[in-house]
Structure 1
Amino acid sequence: MRKEVLIGCSSFNNRYWKGIFYPENLPSSKWFEFYSQHFETYEFNGSFYKFPTVRILENWYNKAPENFIFSIKVPKEITHIRKFNDCKNLIQDFYDICKTGLKEKLGCVLFQFPPGYHFTLENLQKIVANLDPEFKNVIEFRHESWWIPEVWNIFSENNITFCSVSHPQLPKTIFADFPLIFIRLHGTPKMFYSSYSNEELIFIKDKIMNKTAFVYFNNTASEAGILNALEFQNEYKKQWQS
């Protein structure tokens, strides 16, 4: 994968964006088409709630333009319910469905663990043992016990990305030393709602310049997500072209 920063959102079907991003007269059935004309990637979260089928992902593949990239979240059955216990086959099934359905448009595979999933050496080893290194695996933790060099080093050795997360209760580290950077901006101090300042966006941009990164805005419960995504994209392109 060439060095580039792909910027997008974790949702697109958003009525708050009508008149701000989507034209007033554009039907919602055309919103993804419009979104994909302005951004090169999308973080697919529907798979977290329901295990996807090849047919569903093929439909998304066909909707998206050439060179568009999807990152996709692993079902909560794996991360939240089973917590990686006896999940090897289930995870492989998910990989296979994503690879078959999204083909070359598959970007990262995101494993988001719940706040109650704390660091233990056993949990760390379980994660590494269950992942297929052929895929761009990203791990997002919601408990700060994972923010330790032991985890970062083992992830780096196994080509796993530690997700950089902007979250009200978590460290704001931008993990720029991984070969692949993955940033999720959930909104802070009010999760899913708060907007990021221009200064905050420039700080992130400077950290990942000339790197390979995915940046997703998940502060999409209001208009903040799309406005921040557009602003960040403009800031990045401005410096890239200068």
Structure 2
Amino acid sequence: MSAAEIHAGTSGFSYPEWKGSFYPEKLPQSKFLEYYSESFTTVEINNTFYRFPRSDLLEGWRDRTPDGFTFAVKANQGITHKGRLQDVEDLTRDFVERCKLLDDKLGPILFQLPPYFKRDDEKLADFLDSLDPRLLYAFEFRHVSWFVDDVFQLLSDGGAALCISEGDKLDTPRVATGDFVYTRLRKDEYTDADLTDWHAWMTEQAKQGRDVFAYLKHDEAGESPENTLRLLAGGR
């Protein structure tokens, strides 16, 4: 079994409000990514949900980060919210092809479904069949009807990961369906005990050969980078 790693970062990085708490006060925003990548090996990009990423932007991110750095990319809302995974083959292909400009720094592509999208096995199965099997995909379900064994099996058969999301309203079961694990920690506060528990679970997944991608949500106070470092340190 090949060695697996825990990659933890934050959802986004380009936040001026993090100056003073994470970024140095005088650091220009154009240097945020380079500074961020000195502490973390991955970041989750969320603005791709609202608009297709520009080619030059992706290529710039790729070239400005060190070897081994990865970008998780949230899929465009046209695929997940407007199309609800149906009749979106061309849009999905165009989006994935654009993301491939990140080359070997492209991590998982996250399909975050809307909370009003209830379980539909046929749509999910057809969509999984349409994806390029060479890439990594995670699915974040936000309606409880999806949290059943049949859906988990569909993801497993399709080589996709269940996005294990922890929030103040809905928690995803800790079920590993893919060859990697994708986790989003969305609570407003995390105690040492919380992060110790998550670190222990992620470590066990890595021991079983699954790379782990974990992202803490953006906060105005700039505490998420520190919490991410605490997570990587085992909750301390």
So what's the TM-score if we normalise by structure 2? 0.90
Letter in 1 for 2:126: K
Gaps of 5+ in 1: 188-193
Q: C-alpha distance in 2, partners of 1:20/1:205?
A: 23
Indicate the residue corresponding to 2:75 in structure 1: 74
Q: Report how far residue 174 of structure 1 moved.
A: 2.3
Counterparts in 2 of 1:221 and 1:19: CA distance versus 1, 3 Å: closer
Q: Percent identity?
A: 33
Contact 2:199 2:232 in 1 (8 A): no
* Deviations, residues 100-154 of structure 1 (Å, cap 9, x unaligned): x100111101111100111022233233233222110110111111111111112
* Deviations, residues 138-174 of structure 1 (Å, cap 9, x unaligned): 1011111111111111211221100000122212422
Contact 1:138 1:163 in 2 (8 A): yes
Q: C-alpha distance in 2, partners of 1:177/1:129?
A: 16
Gaps of 5+ in 2: none
Q: C-alpha distance in 1, partners of 2:74/2:57?
A: 14
Indicate the residue corresponding to 1:17 in structure 2: 18
Q: Is residue 44 from structure 1 mapped to residue 38 from structure 2 by the alignment?
A: no
Structure 1 segment 142-221 matched on structure 2, within 5 A? 142-176=142-176, 178-187=178-187, 194-209=188-203, 210=207, 211-221=210-220
Counterparts in 2 of 1:177 and 1:87: CA distance versus 1, 3 Å: closer
Higher relative contact order (CA 8 A, sep 6+): 2
Contact 2:10 2:217 in 1 (8 A): yes
Structure 1 segment 112-131 matched on structure 2, within 5 A? 112-131=112-131
Q: C-alpha distance in 1, partners of 2:174/2:230?
A: 19
* Deviations, residues 23-42 of structure 1 (Å, cap 9, x unaligned): 22222222211101110111
Counterparts in 2 of 1:177 and 1:117: CA distance versus 1, 3 Å: closer
So what's the TM-score if we normalise by structure 1? 0.88
Q: Report how far residue 84 of structure 1 moved.
A: 1.7
Indicate the residue corresponding to 1:224 in structure 2: 223
| Segments of 4+ moved more than 6 angstroms | none
Letter in 2 for 1:63: R
Letter in 2 for 1:86: D
Q: C-alpha distance in 2, partners of 1:78/1:180?
A: 23
Structure 1 segment 45-64 matched on structure 2, within 5 A? 45-64=46-65
Q: C-alpha distance in 2, partners of 1:153/1:122?
A: 13
